[in-house]
Structure 1
Amino acid sequence: MAAKIAFRASGSEVAQAAFKTLQARYGDVPASAADVIVALGGDGFMLETLNATIDLDTPVYGMNCGTIGFLMNEYAEDGLPDRVAAAEEATINPLRMRAGTADGTVHEALAINEVSLLRAGPQAARLKISVDGRTRMEELVCDGALVSTPAGSTAYNYSAHGPILPIQSEVLALTAMAAFRPRRWRGALLPKTALVRFDILEPEKRPVMADADSRSVRDVRWVEVRSEPAITHRLLFDPGHGLEERLLREQFT
C-alpha cells in the first residue's frame, strides 16, 4: 500500500503549480494522518515545514522548487511513492535559544540550522562567551557570532568560514563573523551537550539582535543556546543523496 502523503507548498508560483499537479495525481491527506509529508519549496520552506510539524513524528521528504535546495530532493512528478519508499532517513536535533531582552522578557525559539547574534547598530558587538557556566572568552569584538548544528553547518556558518560538520558528529560549531578582537578568531568546536551563553557588553551603545532560523529578537542582553535532544526531525533523501553525502561533497566543491 502506498504511503499516505500530506503536501505542503511555499507561496511561490513554481511550488504552487507543483502542489496542484502532485495533489491531483497522488491525493492529499492532513499532516496528522499522513505517513510522510512532502514539502515543495526551497530550504527556507523546509525549515518552516519542520517547525510547523514539530509535534508529529512524521518524516519529511522535500522536493526542490526553490533556489539551492540543500535540504531538498530533485523535483520530479513521476514515481513519488516509490521514491519515498526507497528514501534514506536522516535524524537531526534542533537548537533551543533563550534570549533575555532589555525589558526583562525571555524569548524562546528553536533553530534547525543555527542561532546567530548580529550587531544591530553601526558599531561592532562586544560579547562575553561562556560554555557550561565557565567563561571562555571575556570579550569578543565582532559583527556577530553563531552556533550551528551539523545540518546547518553549510549554511550561514560556512559563509562565515566556519567548519562543515559530518551529520552524525556530536559537536556544534561556534563561529565568529568578522572578528576584530581577538583578531581573526574563527571559533571553536563544542560538544553537542554544551550550553553556550553570550552576554552582551555595552548593549545600549552596541545593540545586538539574536536570530533563530530567521525568527529574530532585538535588544538582547544575553542569549543561551543548546541542542534540544528531546526533539527529533526526520528528513528523507533519495538513495546516495543523503545529508552525509551532501556535506562531504560540499567540502570538495
Structure 2
Amino acid sequence: MAFQRIAFLASPSPVAQAALAEMVALYGQHDVGEADVVVALGGDGFMLQCLHETKGAEVPVYGMNRGTIGFLMNAYGAEDLPARLAAAEETVINPLEMHALCVDGSETVQLAINEVSLLRAGPQAAKLRISVDGKVRLEELVCDGVLLATAAGSTAYNYSAHGPILPIGSDVLALTPMAAFRPRRWRGALLPKGAVVRFDVLEHEKRPVRSDADSRPVPDVISVEIRSKPEIRHHILFDPGHGLEERLIVEQFA
C-alpha cells in the first residue's frame, strides 16, 4: 500500500528530534488527523504513547528506533521511506481496558496495550484476591505485585517478571505474579483473551496498592477489573521479515 500523507511524531530526546527534522525536510509533514500513516520516532515507550493517541483513527503506525528500547520499532533510516512503508507488514493488536476503584471512591478507566499491573505501594507485601469471570480463583495472593499482559506486551514487564512469551494471535493473556510469597510456588496462569479478571485489594489500609496501565499509575486502588477490548484495533507496521510474530519467536531463542 502506498502512503501519501505522513505524520511524523518524535519523542523529546535530542536524537529523536534530529531525526524528526531530517524526515520532515525530506518528506514533508501532515497533521495526524489528515495522515494515512504515522511514523513514530523514539523508543517503545513513545510508540505506546503514539498508539494510545491514535486509537480512534485506526491509522497505521510505523515506528523507527530513536530510543533505548525498540522491540516495537523498525531500524532507523531516512532513505527510501515511502518504499519501506509500502512494503511493510501490518499487525493488528487489541488493548486491555482497566476499571480501577480507589479508596476515595473515585473510578479510573484506562487502556493498556502491554499490561495492567498492580504493585505494592508501601513497605509490606500486597494481599490480593483474584477472580476470573466472576469466580474466585485465588483467595489470597501475597506478593510484591501481579500483572495481566497481552501477547504484544508479553516480552515487556511480563517477561522481566518471568512470565511466558505469548504468540501474536494466540488469544491468550498472561497472569503473572511478582515475588509471590504465598502461595510461594504459584507462577501465574494463562487465561483466554475474553476473560474478565478482577483483583480485590485485601487490608488496603495496611497494605496500599497502586495500579498501572502501561506505566500510567493510579494510586490507592481497592479493586481493579480488566478485560480485552477487541473493538479497539491498533495497526502496527513492520519491515518484511521483522514483524511482531517473528520477533516474539526470536526472543524465545535469544
Instruction: Measure the CA separation in 2 of the matches of 1:93 and 1:210.
Output: 20
Deviations 1:123-147 (A, max 9, x none): 0000000000000000000000000
Q: Secondary structure at the match of 1:103?
A: coil
Q: Secondary structure at the match of 1:117?
A: strand
Instruction: Measure the CA separation in 2 of the matches of 1:168 and 1:229.
Output: 12
**Shift in alpha-carbon separation, 1:2–1:136, aligned structure 2, 3 A:** closer
How far is 1:54 from its partner? Answer: 1.2
How far is 1:35 from its partner? Answer: 1.2
How far is 1:3 from its partner? Answer: 2.2
**Shift in alpha-carbon separation, 1:17–1:186, aligned structure 2, 3 A:** same
How far is 1:2 from its partner? Answer: 5.0
Correspondence 1:18 to 2:23:
no
Q: Which amino acid aligns with 2:251?
A: E
Correspondence 1:157 to 2:165:
no
Q: Which amino acid aligns with 1:119?
A: R
Instruction: Measure the CA separation in 1 of the matches of 2:4 and 2:77.
Output: 17
Q: Secondary structure at the match of 2:183?
A: coil
Q: Which amino acid aligns with 2:172?
A: V
Q: Is the 8 A contact 1:126 1:140 kept in 2?
A: yes
Q: Which amino acid aligns with 2:5?
A: K
How far is 1:184 from its partner? Answer: 2.6
Instruction: Measure the CA separation in 2 of the matches of 1:169 and 1:28.
Output: 37
How far is 1:208 from its partner? Answer: 0.3
Q: Secondary structure at the match of 1:244?
A: helix
Instruction: Measure the CA separation in 1 of the matches of 2:153 and 2:107.
Output: 25
Indicate the residue corresponding to 2:75 in structure 1.
74
Q: Is the 8 A contact 2:3 2:37 kept in 1?
A: no
Task: Report runs of 4+ in structure 1 exceeding 2 Å deviation.
Answer: none
Instruction: Measure the CA separation in 1 of the matches of 2:248 and 2:208.
Output: 34
Indicate the residue corresponding to 2:186 in structure 1.
185
**Shift in alpha-carbon separation, 1:170–1:108, aligned structure 2, 3 A:** same
Instruction: Give the TM-score normalised by the residue count of structure 1.
Output: 0.99
Q: Secondary structure at the match of 2:137?
A: strand
Q: Is the 8 A contact 1:209 1:220 kept in 2?
A: yes
How far is 1:32 from its partner? Answer: 1.1
Instruction: Give the TM-score normalised by the residue count of structure 2.
Output: 0.99
Q: Secondary structure at the match of 2:100?
A: strand
Indicate the residue corresponding to 1:148 in structure 2.
149
Q: Is the 8 A contact 2:118 2:147 kept in 1?
A: yes
Deviations 1:74-102 (A, max 9, x none): 00010100000000000000000000001
Indicate the residue corresponding to 2:225 in structure 1.
224
Q: Secondary structure at the match of 2:46?
A: helix
Q: Secondary structure at the match of 1:197?
A: strand
Indicate the residue corresponding to 1:100 in structure 2.
101
Correspondence 1:110 to 2:111:
yes
Instruction: Measure the CA separation in 2 of the matches of 1:32 and 1:250.
Output: 35
Q: Which amino acid aligns with 1:249?
A: V
How far is 1:4 from its partner? Answer: 1.1
Q: Which amino acid aligns with 1:189?
A: L
Q: Which amino acid aligns with 1:75?
A: Y
Unaligned runs of 5+ in 1: none
Q: Which amino acid aligns with 1:38?
A: V
Q: Is the 8 A contact 1:178 1:184 kept in 2?
A: no
Instruction: Measure the CA separation in 2 of the matches of 1:226 and 1:67.
Output: 30
Q: Secondary structure at the match of 2:72?
A: coil
* Root-mean-square deviation over aligned CA pairs: 0.7
Unaligned runs of 5+ in 2: none
